[in-house]
A = this chain, B = another copy of it.
Amino acid sequence: MAGPRVDDIYDQVKAMAVSFRLRPGDRLNEVALSKDLGVSRTPLREALNRLVAERLFDFRPGQGFFCRPLDAQSVFDLFELRQIIETAAARAACAKASDEDFQTLRNELYAKGIDITGLTIEEAVTRDEAFHLAIAKLSGNMELLQTLTRINERIRYIRWISMSLDRVQRSKGEHKQVMQALMDRDADEAARVLGAHITKRMDQVQDAVRHGISSIYMEGSEDISTRIIEEVQE
């Protein structure tokens, strides 16, 4: 049988890194992990090298692979970059996407993000991310989409933590404004609202980070599986 082993390993290790199941800064024990995954070190190291290129791991010659720590500056930079790319994507979408595209976006992803009561934080972030990625996709620029996807992977855990600290999802109204601006094909407005939305999130995240990024590493994990009770009235 076989199947694409490296791709599977890559996905599994990436999932561990993204969810911080491997603690940032820690050295990765190749032998132990390869036994855990039931493969040998060779394909594991191949997968790890991909993740090094994606900046999810550090590689120090002679010492091995390290789960990459996320410092406050990197978090800020990644959010800023995300804002740059998403606002540009919204502008491009206004120019390039069809009315049908926007209808689909509204009916599928936007609609699913409205009521998140009863969802876990992980699920809520996933839906939020999906809406934002869908806009990026409507830009028609696959390289942009790919780049944003990578950025999202690196800050996903921070978004989980931030949301679990805040408890309440306040993006409903903002998403509505973004959706409206897109359907009006008002590029300036779409970029403005989306940019402000991300800035607000970034501020929340900065608070969380200031609160101590090291403590963030410890908790979590169970928090993202707690369910969201209520939603603010908009």
Contact = CB atoms under 8 A, between A and B. Distances in A.
A47 B47 CA distance: 11
Which bracket fits the contact residues of A?
A: 35 or more
Nearest to A52: B50
Given A4-B61, A42-B42, A61-B7, A141 B49 contact: no
A168 interface: no
Contacts of A4: 61-62
Interface in A11-61: 42, 45-47, 49-55, 59, 61
B78 A88 contact: no
Given A49-B6, A50-B53, A61-B7, A144 B74 contact: no
Contact of A49 (B49, B84, B144, B151): B49
Contacts of A74: 142-143
Given A4-B61, A61-B7, A147 B81 contact: yes
Contact of A46 (B3, B45, B80): B45
Given A51-B53, A53-B54, A84-B84, A141 B77 contact: yes
A85 interface: yes
A156 to B, nearest CB: 15
A98 to B, nearest CB: 18
A61 B47 CA distance: 13
Contact of A81 (B6, B52, B144): B144
Contacts of A6: 49, 59, 61
A52 B151 CA distance: 17
Contacts of A46: 45-46, 49
Nearest to A75: B143
A208 to B, nearest CB: 19
25 contacts: A3-B61, A4-B61, A4-B62, A6-B49, A6-B61, A45-B46, A46-B46, A46-B49, A49-B50, A50-B50, A50-B52, A51-B53, A74-B142, A74-B143, A77-B141, A77-B143, A77-B144, A80-B92, A80-B141, A81-B141, A81-B144, A84-B84, A84-B85, A84-B144, A85-B85
